[in-house]
Amino acid sequence: MKGKIVRWGIVILILAGIGAYLWHVTRPEPVEIVVHPVERGLVEKTVSNTRAGTVKACRRAKLSPGIGGQITTLPVRVGQQVKKGQLLLELWNKDLSAQLSLAKREEDAARDKKKAVCLRAEIARREADRLLRLRKTGAASEERTDRAVTEAKALDAECAAAESAVSVSQARAASILANLERTRLVAPFDGVIAEINGELNEYVTPSPIGIPTPPAVDIIDTSCFYVDAPIDEVDAPLVSVGMPARIRLDAFRDRLFTGKVERVDAYVLDRERQARTVEVEVRFAPAENPEKLLAGYSADIDVVLEVHPGTLRVPTESILDNTRVFVFDRATGTISARTVEIGISNWDFTEIRSGLEAGEQVILNVDAPGVENGAKAVIVEKRA
């Protein structure tokens, strides 16, 4: 009897060991999770662009001569810094220069003639006045006095005509000078030469009406830049001029630039079906213009609509359906689902109004296999 009990005890122990082994090899492995603490901090509501924006210069001039001609002077090169008023290009204009020189000589001659005629007119007026005084005393004849007065009036008219001739000469010289200026391109502002289309002795022609042609010289003001970016039409009513914004550039990955909204277009672009957008212009803050910033860089913008400092927040990637999060219970080593009420949010953080407390650990990799309510879990990464 005693031996029978011992045998049954051994069998039970063996069965228990087998069961423990089977449970051990078949039990689910703990889910590997990435967690982030619930904390207090800044949360902003932002609007971002739907497609990459473009960095543009506040001033850019694509210049071409007003008339056609042969390039005789080209003192600048691509990439060169130039000052306002500096000569950029000049066409052959010796004919106009000669005409201007002739017009100025004619103007000088007209001035000299005016001076001579007006001096004679002044002498004639004095003589006429003297004879009129003598006529009152009977010392001068009426005929002589009338002749002197008439001559004085005629010379006054010649003086006025000479003055008009000087004005005509001045206008003729100004007209030639205006045509001469059309053969020269000068920098309208300080900047850098971005493009030159033409070489010495080549012939350039102005653009025909309705047919754009490449500019002779393209100059960019590098002291001021802005970003032109499209935002979704749904977000457009939320954005207004003066709102703060942040700018991200692929060329400056380690920097975040500040700026503000300078313009919101008054119409919607429908270049793509079901993707209607509104163009927004964000100007870089004056202190934020980097030395190596170039027009044409791609850029992204975040327009800040609302700011809540010191609020309870979690990473936005941890939120499911805007109502739930998964929380890791350190005491039991399990995952629990939690219903939350959220406030404002952006790509990085979401405000939590209720449902969580500071210090709790929310799960970030919510799409990992096995992440569900009641599942065992093990932390493989903690983010802060």
Per the structure, how many domains does the chain have? 3
Residue range 77-91: mean pLDDT, rounded:
93
Residue where a domain terminates, one of 202, 220, 238? 220
Residue range 302-325: mean pLDDT, rounded:
92
In a domain, 15, yes or no: no
* Residue 343 shares a structural domain with residue 231: yes
pLDDT (tens digit per residue) in 206-217 = 777 777 788 899
* Residue 367 shares a structural domain with residue 230: yes
Residue range 339-352: mean pLDDT, rounded:
91
Edge to edge, the sheet with strand 31-37 lists 334-339, 324-329, 361-363, 31-37, 377-382
In a domain, 34, yes or no: no
* Residue 176 shares a structural domain with residue 190: no
* Residue 330 shares a structural domain with residue 360: yes
Task: Give the rounded percent of residues in the chain with a pLDDT score beyond 90.
Answer: 38
Task: Give the rounded percent of residues in the chain with a pLDDT score beyond 70.
Answer: 90
* Residue 320 shares a structural domain with residue 272: yes
* Residue 337 shares a structural domain with residue 303: yes
In a domain, 274, yes or no: yes
In a domain, 13, yes or no: no
Cα–Cα distance, 64 to 301 (Å, whole number): 34
* Residue 175 shares a structural domain with residue 239: no
pLDDT at 120 (0 to 100):
84
pLDDT at 218 (0 to 100):
93
Q: What is the pTM of this model?
A: 0.66
Residue range 357-363: mean pLDDT, rounded:
92
pLDDT at residue 124 is higher than 90 = no
Average pLDDT across the chain, whole number: 86
* Residue 321 shares a structural domain with residue 354: yes
In a domain, 265, yes or no: yes
* Residue 197 shares a structural domain with residue 320: no
Q: Report angle CA 345, 349, 354 to the nearest 5 degrees.
A: 70
Residue range 159-176: mean pLDDT, rounded:
88
pLDDT at residue 4 is higher than 70 = no
In a domain, 369, yes or no: yes
* Residue 199 shares a structural domain with residue 138: no
CATH of the domain at 71: 2.40.50.100
* Residue 270 shares a structural domain with residue 301: yes
* Residue 118 shares a structural domain with residue 151: yes
Task: Kindly report which listed range (26-40, 64-78, 90-104, 245-259) carries the lowest average pLDDT score.
Answer: 26-40
CATH of the domain at 331: 2.40.30.170
pLDDT at residue 264 is higher than 90 = yes
Cα–Cα distance, 137 to 34 (Å, whole number): 124
pLDDT at 25 (0 to 100):
44
In a domain, 378, yes or no: yes
> Phi-psi region for residue 314, left (φ > 0), alpha (ψ -120 to 50) or beta?
beta
Domain extent, residue 375, equals 43-57+224-382
pLDDT at residue 19 is higher than 70 = no
Crossing angle of helices 94-137 and 142-181, rounded to 10°: 160
pLDDT at residue 15 is higher than 60 = yes
| Single-letter amino acid code for the residue at 113 | K
Say if CB 384 and CB 38 are below 8 A apart.
no
